[in-house]
Amino acid sequence: MTAPRKLFIKTYGCQMNVYDSERMAEALGASGYVPTDTAADADMILLNTCHIREKAAEKVYSELGRLKPLKDGNPDLKIGIAGCVAQAEGAEIMRRAPVVDLVVGPQTYHRLPAMEAAARAGERPVDTDFPDEDKFEHLPKGPRAVRGVSAFLTVQEGCDKFCAFCVVPYTRGAEVSRPAERILREARDLVERGVREVTLLGQNVNGYHGEGLDGRDWSLARLVRELAEIDGLWRIRYTTSHPNDMSDDLIAAHGDLDKLMPYLHLPVQSGSDKILKAMNRKHTAAEYLEILDRLREVRPDLALSGDFIVGFPGEGEAEFEATMELVRKAGYHSAFSFKYSARPGTPAAERPVLPDAVLDVRLHELQALITEQQRAAQQAMVGREVQVLFEKPGRMPGQMVGKSDYLHAVHATGEGIAPGQLRRVRITESATNSLAAVLL
């Protein structure tokens, strides 16, 4: 009996890449591959890349340099580049990196088994098309993997917003929403495999407009309401959202549905209307804050997360202070903040950039404020009773780690506690990135 080939996938970037890596592993599982956690043990290595951050492509080439000795020692080893760097630079990767055997974009990984077979035959296939067929429906079916209690579920891909700093419309394409029936089917399958919490994914997830069971386009709110009817699915989250698509029905769902968790990631990027206009965000700071007010009216305990870019071209001291003021008014439980870096091919890429020293000072100031808010929010949890979905053992004997309704990492000890349990706890202590609790 021939031993199965081993597959190692290294995933960069967003949650959607995590989901895509899982699906690629399942697709290659139909060709006899089994996963391995060690690149040195692999018969095939896939780098599932992200193109959002600065020097993303150079990081891929650096990783390829580290992998080259494995290829030299094992000529049968195949190395593939997937994801958004593959989409943006497929032909250049093949020219610059002879160690690479195949390049596959994020919309064509359902063709991976055929590409792998071509690579085994000595070809070097590149596929970065935007095909008409639904890749999710054309993925080869590998063995059904055992799942954890939480899982990602892609419902929408691509973006039509064309923010001036963002490469997503060019690497992921136009907005496409999956039909609701296929999402519901996949969600039920996940529940059958032990999943109790799903996070719905999309580059612009609240712009979802997939065909519903009634033949009409459904909103994300309608989809969430249908998902909430699935027995055994206890929790629903979604990310990443755009303020312009935070519709009335979605806001109402946050007040109506106990299964829709009281946590929202809603990026704003800047608090300055001047900079928001330059970014092509098509909303103002006041409109963003009004959305938060409406959400908190129906869900007062909402935990808010966001994204910020510091030093976008044209940002002066007044514009930066407007961002600081928005953060003070919004009150974040957590937020991600970055110095602006130009992405080739985006409208902002040719604009004058600010001195790096200025960006460093502003980023430090913004992150200090966000950290202060995060610590205050976590400290306010001490003494509260919350539900925790436990996922895995902790570092201490008898300890389990899970997520609260508000996406806090919570660790607790107690008799009979096990992965997959949804238990009520009392928060006893706040640490930097987690909470301690006792079972009730």
Higher pLDDT, 135 or 148: 148
Contact (Cβ atoms closer than 8 angstroms) between residue 78 and residue 45:
yes
84 is in an annotated binding site: yes
- Identify the residue with better confidence: 344 or 270: 270
Looking up residue 69, the CATH number of its domain turns out to be 3.40.50.12160
Establish if 192 belongs to a structural domain.
yes
Do 192 and 118 fall into the same domain?
no
Nearest-10 crossing angle of helices 317-330, 356-379: 10
Based on the domain organization, do 131 and 150 belong to the same domain?
no
Answer yes or no: is 163 a known binding residue: yes
Is 201 a domain residue? yes
Is 166 annotated among the ligand-binding residues? yes
Residue 87, SS3 per DSSP = helix
What six digits make up the tokens of 426?
Answer: 């009392």
Together in a domain, 198 and 223: yes
- 161 with 107, same domain: the answer is no
pLDDT of residue 199: 96
Q: Are 131 and 49 in the same domain?
A: yes
Q: Which of 114, 135, 156 is the last residue of a domain?
A: 135
Do the Cβ atoms of 51 and 167 come closer than 8 Å? Answer: yes
Residue 286 counted as an annotated binding residue: no
d(CA 266, CA 306): 5
Question: Are 129 and 156 in the same domain?
Answer: no
The arithmetic mean of pLDDT across residues 115-127, rounded, is 94
- Structural domain includes residue 288: no
| Contact of 288 with 243, CB cutoff 8 Å | yes
What dihedral do alpha carbons 367, 371, 374, 375 form, nearest 10°?
180
Residue 167: CATH number of its domain: 3.30.750.210
Check whether residue 43 and residue 88 sit in a common domain. Answer: yes
b or e along 408-423 (b: 16 or more beta carbons within 10 Å of the residue's beta carbon)? Answer: bebbbeeeebeeebeb
302 assigned to some structural domain = no
Nearest CA to 222 out of 211, 231, 232 is that of: 211
Is 359 part of any known ligand binding site?
no
Confirm whether residue 50 is marked as ligand binding: yes
Whether residue 306 is contained in a domain is answered as: no
Q: Which residue has the higher pLDDT, 433 or 390?
A: 390
* Chain CA centroid to CA 211, Å: 23
Last residue of a domain, one of 109, 135, 161: 135
Upper half-sphere CA count for residue 167 (Cβ side, 13 Å): 20
**Is 324 part of any domain?**
no
Domain endpoint, select from 135, 168, 189: 135
Q: Residues of the chain with pLDDT > 70: what percent?
A: 95
Domain span at 209: 146-261
Residue 67 is assigned to a structural domain of this protein: yes
> Cα–Cα distance between 124 and 108 in angstroms, integer?
15
**Based on the domain organization, do 122 and 150 belong to the same domain?**
no
Q: What is the pLDDT of residues 76-93, one digit of tens each?
A: 999 999 988 888 888 889
Q: Are 104 and 80 in contact (CB under 8 A)?
A: yes
Contact 331, 296 (CB under 8 A): no
Q: Give domain status of residue 416, yes or no.
A: yes
Q: What pLDDT score does 50 carry?
A: 81
